Structures are given as C-alpha cells and as structure tokens.
Amino acid sequence: MQPSGPTHTRARPHDAATASAPLAPVTDLAWDADRARALGAEVVALWAELLERLPAMPVAGRASVADVRAAVVRAVPEEPLAPEELVAALRTIALEHATYTGHPGFMAYITGAGTVPGAAADLIAAVLNQNVGAWRLAPAATEIELHLGRWFASRLGLPSTAGGYVTSGGAMAAFIGLKAARDARAGWRIRELGTRGGPPLTLYASSQAHDVNTRAADMLGLGREAVRVVPCDGELRMRVDALRACVARDVRNGYQPVAVVATAGTVSTGAIDPLDAIADVCAEHRLWMHVDGAYGGAAALTDALRPRFRGIERADSVAFDPHKWLYTPHSGGVIVVRDMQTLADAFSMEPSYVYEDKELTGRGVDLYGLGPQFSRGFQALKIWMSLLAHGWSAYERRIAHDVALARRLHDRVVASPVLEPVGPPPTLSIACFRYVPRELRDRRGEAQAEDYLNRLNARLMTELQLGGRVFPSNAVIDGRFALRACIVNFRTEAADIDALVDQAVATGEALHRTERASLGTA
C-alpha cells in the first residue's frame, strides 16, 4: 500500500534519488526495557494491591451504565497519556468498575476465580506474542499445548491416539467437537458438498444441555432443530430409554443420527448424564459421543471424583473448561478428541503461502490445520503455568473442597425453616435453593404462591448481588426460580457459604415484609 495525504511524498520505485534518501526511524511504539520495567512495576503494584484489598471490597459495583461509561470511556487521544494518567486509567478499571470472580463471595454462573500464576503467564504470553497457529512460529508453545491436550486425554482415560488443544472456551470446544462428529459420521464429502449431500443429520442432547450445543448445530448448517431434546429423569440426567426411542424414531423417518451430546455436569445443577449407558447407545448406532464437560470435566480429571464420570473414557470428544473449574484466567477451554486424526479430517487446509519442507526442518504440527482458527494465541501457557506452580494435588484437594462447600450449603438450606433446596442435592459443586416464607410453606405448588415465590426469589438474587458480600446467580428448575451457588472459586470458604445463607434469610424476610401485599390470597 502506498502512503497518501499531504505530508507524504508518493514513493517512486525507479527514482534512485528517493530510494537512497534517508528514512528516519519511527520509534514511538518501540518502548525499551526501562519503559517496560516502569509500566510493569506499576501494573504489578496494582495487582498486589487488588489481591490485598479484595476480601474487603464489594464483589461487584452498583454503578449504572452511564456512570461506568463516564468513568472509563474517553476519546482516543491523539498524543500519549502521561504515565500517571495511564496508571490512573488502569486503577479505575481495576478497582472501581469490575466484577471480581476471584472475590470469596463470588459464586455465580460457572466462572473460575483466576489463578495468580495464570495471570503472570498471560503477561509473558503477550510479551512473546507468538502465533501458535504454526509450529515454526511457536515451537515451545505448540509442544506445551499438545502435551496438555494429551495429558488431559490420558487423565480422562482416553487412548494414546487421543489429544486436544486449547480453545476460547466451552462454546468453541462444542463447535469443534461437533464439527469433527459431523464430518466423521455424515458418510459423504460433507466438507465439499455441505449438508445437501445426504439425508438430514440429527444430534441428541438432554433438556438440561447447554444452549451452546444447539448453537453449534446452527453454525454447522444442521439447524437448531437437528438437536433432538431428550427428556431427563428426576435427577435431571438424560433418560437413556428416551434417547433410544428418539434415535429409533429418527431412523424410521429417514433422518441420519450422527452424535449424542452427553453432559457431564449440567450448568443448572451439575447433573451428570449416564455416560456409560449413553456410550452403549452410541456404539450400537455408530454415533459420535461428545461429552460436554465444560463445567464437570475438570472434576473428571481428579482421582476422587472420576468414578462419578464412568463412561467418559468411551467418548469421541470431550469439551471442558480450564477457565471454569481449573480456575485459570479467562479465556481458555479445551477440546479433547479420541483420535487426533479426526480434527485434521475436519479442519485441514493447505494455504499456498504457508509452504514448508518439514522433513528438512524437523518441525512439528501446525495447529492451524486442526481447528477453526488460523492465527492463535498462547492461551495454553496460563493453564500450564498454573499446573506447574500449584502441582496437581492442590487441584485434587481444592476441587474436592468445592464439592464439600456445596454440600455444606445444601445441608444448611435443609436445616433452615425458611429455605428449601430446589432440584436434586448437589452432585458436584452447585447447590440450588430458594427462600420460602413460613406462611407459604403449605401453599407450595399453588400457582399463585409459586408465582409470588418466583418473583420474590428473583428480587432476592438481585438484592444479594447488589449487596456486595455474596454474588449468587440463578437457575430455573421445573418452573421454580432458584438461587444458585456454583463454587469454582479457591477463595470461597465456609464463612462465605454461611454469609450467603444468613443474607438470603435476612434479605428474604425483609423483602417478603414489603412484598407480601402483592401475594393476594388463594
């Protein structure tokens, strides 16, 4: 591209005078080691300050959109900010308008606390700025990422052909796993011809499966309705008899079933589908078994909890999220497949400008040919460095502790006269409950009372979040709005669980006092 505009002279390639004219360096962006040291020191000081102050800070702010915007958004400056201004801008972002997933009271959604070594690793990964799409551009990074993939696969009990790599998260891991499934099981050249090359393909997932799986079917051109919704049992696990019936009906009607999405740790309650029995159905019908372990997959890596996931070792692909229950900073999920060749089959491409004689160079695998991304960052380093810094037994202990904390929450809920569990007791580290005023205990199930309880508990969740000490989220189970605590946070302890219970009771009572007029009588 040629520069244009009044201050530039147009380059003329054959003009000897222009070619030899001095071209002054443009060094604005090339900060030296001293400037890196100075900015780095400020950033590290801010990081340490945040860690020190975190327990006493509110989990989240209460500022409105307008306030947040006014505080953090500004016109892009023409000239650099002064160093103090730059640091002040970072302080505002870090200390005033963040929601702290690593705060001891944060128990919402399924969002890991963020390891300290992982944050340091992210800095170094950015410093190196490698493109982990090609081995030649990132030799150590590629080998670490592939090693991690193999290690996760082996802990899940998959064979030596298995492996995987780091993705942006569970949603992308679902897309990749189901892309491999589609291409391996369609039976025609679907990458060339698309879905018009054969009968309509179908997938199967339980009513509790995460929506990202349905969206993956949409992105794969199969359509959301290609995902058949299989009903669950009372424990919110996929009913295998219903799965069989769905598959048989589709086969009768001319559809071509390709894959089952089994969930290992549902997002609402942490339920684990009967993986072994689902693997039997997959074997009978030659279906690809994809396990959505975005949440529970990390627990399946531990010796103590692996027995609950029996059958996961029979999966063709497993999605799981280090940024959830391995606590590493956002973002980083993992896709593991039974046979790495299936990823090459689903994603290979041969760009003309990426020539290489691997025999001559002795270089390794290029990850761009195994997944949907071309350029890719070194997201594996924060996971790798966290494992190195903590050692695996620390994870075994902490993951088990999270499960024990969810159990403690459940027990306290059961013991309370004004709280009740919603859904089955915790299988993993999620507990769901709601506040039920004494006078409504006997009216549970009545439409009017249930309606009121849903409104009351929705308001209760919001009030607790705004309160700043604890931050639960919600689930809706059989039409009942529940407060949901998911413990994937190594700073949460029994005192935080107790604070959640005590505040839910106190705030629930206060809300009921002001809201009960809206209840009416049956």
Ligand X SMILES: *Cc1c(COP(=O)(O)O)cnc(C)c1O
User: Does residue 212 bind ligand X (CB under 6 A)?
Assistant: yes
User: Does residue 312 bind ligand X (CB under 6 A)?
Assistant: no
Q: How far is the CB of 403 from ligand X (least distance, A)?
A: 16
Find the binder of ligand X among 171, 380, 453, 487 (CB under 6 A): 171
User: Does residue 169 bind ligand X (CB under 6 A)?
Assistant: yes
Helix (H) and strand (E) counts in the chain: 19, 11
Q: Judged by CB, which is closer to ligand X: 105, or 297?
A: 297
User: Does residue 321 bind ligand X (CB under 6 A)?
Assistant: yes
**Region near ligand X per CB under 6 A, out of 236-244, 292-300, 454-462, 465-473:** 292-300
3-state SS of 124-184 is: HHHHHCCCCCCHHHCHHHHHHHHHHHHHHHHHCCCCCCCEEEEECCHHHHHHHHHHHHHHH
- Are the C-beta atoms of 258 and 185 separated by less than 8 Å? yes
Q: Are strands 227-230 and 201-206 parallel, antiparallel or unpaired?
A: parallel
**Region near ligand X per CB under 6 A, out of 59-67, 71-79, 141-149, 168-176:** 168-176
**Region near ligand X per CB under 6 A, out of 16-24, 124-132, 167-175, 514-522:** 167-175
Q: How far is the CB of 75 from ligand X (least distance, A)?
A: 33
Q: Judged by CB, which is closer to ligand X: 294, or 299?
A: 294
* Position with the least CB separation from ligand X: 170
256-263, strands of its sheet edge to edge: 163-167, 333-337, 317-320, 288-293, 256-263, 201-206, 227-230
User: Does residue 294 bind ligand X (CB under 6 A)?
Assistant: yes
**Region near ligand X per CB under 6 A, out of 53-61, 164-172, 181-189, 349-357:** 164-172
Residue 318: CB partners within 8 Å, gap ≥ 6?
156, 158, 164, 177, 264, 290, 291, 293, 297, 312, 335, 336, 337
Residue 478: CB partners within 8 Å, gap ≥ 6?
423
Phi-psi region of 230 (alpha: psi -120 to 50; beta: other; left: phi over 0): beta
Residue with tokens 């589709």: 250
How would you class 104 by CB atoms within 10 Å of its CB: exposed for 0-12, middle for 13-18, buried for 19 or more?
Answer: buried
* C-alpha dihedral (504, 509, 512, 514), degrees to nearest 10: -120
Q: By C-alpha distance, which of 208, 108, 450 is closest to 227?
A: 208
Q: Judged by CB, which is closer to ligand X: 291, or 519?
A: 291
**Region near ligand X per CB under 6 A, out of 163-171, 197-205, 338-346, 373-381:** 163-171
Q: How many residues bind ligand X (CB under 6 A)?
A: 13
User: Does residue 267 bind ligand X (CB under 6 A)?
Assistant: yes
User: Does residue 470 bind ligand X (CB under 6 A)?
Assistant: no
Find the binder of ligand X among 101, 263, 269, 429 (CB under 6 A): 263
- Are the C-beta atoms of 388 and 151 separated by less than 8 Å? no
Find the binder of ligand X among 204, 295, 325, 378 (CB under 6 A): 295
Alpha carbon separation from 106 to 220, 260, 484, 505 (Å, rounded)? 35, 33, 11, 18
Q: Judged by CB, which is closer to ligand X: 318, or 464?
A: 318
User: Does residue 275 bind ligand X (CB under 6 A)?
Assistant: no
> 323-362: which residues touch ligand X (CB under 6 A)?
333
User: Does residue 429 bind ligand X (CB under 6 A)?
Assistant: no
Q: How far is the CB of 295 from ligand X (least distance, A)?
A: 4
Q: Judged by CB, which is closer to ligand X: 267, or 346?
A: 267
Q: Which tokens sit at 387?
A: 């494992």
β-sheet bridge partners, residue 24: none
Q: How far is the CB of 333 from ligand X (least distance, A)?
A: 5
User: Does residue 210 bind ligand X (CB under 6 A)?
Assistant: yes
3-state class of 235 per DSSP? coil
User: Does residue 236 bind ligand X (CB under 6 A)?
Assistant: no
Q: Judged by CB, which is closer to ligand X: 379, or 503?
A: 379
> 51-110: which residues touch ligand X (CB under 6 A)?
110
Q: What number of other Cβ atoms are within 10 A of residue 150's Cβ?
A: 18
**Region near ligand X per CB under 6 A, out of 166-174, 281-289, 341-349, 363-371:** 166-174
Element (H, E) at 432: strand 430-435
Residues of this chain that interact with ligand X (CB under 6 A) are 110, 169-171, 210, 212, 263, 267, 292, 294-295, 321, 333
